[in-house]
Structure 1
Amino acid sequence: MPLRPDPISYPPRGMSREEAARYVGVGTTKFEQMVADGRMPRPKRVDGRVIRDRLRLDAAFSDLPEEARVNPLDRMLGA
């Protein structure tokens, strides 16, 4: 039975590795490195399928450090 179009548009809760990597803005190799070092969450397994949880990805992405900015005054003072 084919899926009918859903009148409500919403992002998927579960994602493949490729979708999850694209969602957080990195390639699959970098994404797997981030999973291995704990910056991104491990996936869930449903039977033979490996699924990444969008809400856990959001939380992990929010926990990533901000880019360090150099204070212009420190730069002028040579600090």
Structure 2
Amino acid sequence: MARQLALPPTLAPRLICREAAAAYVSVAPNTFDTMVREGRMPKPRVLTAGRKAWDVRLLDQAVDGLPLEGEDVGTANDGWDN
């Protein structure tokens, strides 16, 4: 996250690394990877060959689509494959 130090403190980054994306949605990086594979979290943007980052706006949308406790999973957003 050293690249983000150049931003003014009031400007949050739009794209974040895997570890930050996992922390942003309150899960471990390996759990986040599983959620991405399952379509419950968005795929990353490709910045350069071998460098990926997650869009915070898409992460927000994915979190909004997660089921609430006690809610039938079928009534929540069906994921990113739609």
TM-score (norm 2): 0.73
Shift of 1:47: 1.0
Alpha-carbon distance in 2 for matches of 1:4, 1:38: 32
Sequence identity percentage: 39
Detail structure 1 runs of 4+ shifted over 2 Å in the superposition.
3-6
Shift of 1:17: 0.2
1:24-65 alpha-carbon deviations (Å, 9 max, x no partner): 000001100000000000001111310100000000000000
Stretches of structure 1 that go unaligned for 5 or more consecutive residues are 70-79
Number of aligned residue pairs: 66
TM-score (norm 1): 0.75
**Aligned twin of 1:64:** 66
Q: 1:9 to 1:30 in 2, by over 3 A?
A: same
Measured on the aligned residues, the alpha-carbon RMSD in Å equals 1.9
1:5-30 alpha-carbon deviations (Å, 9 max, x no partner): 62x60221000000000000000011
Shift of 1:4: 5.9
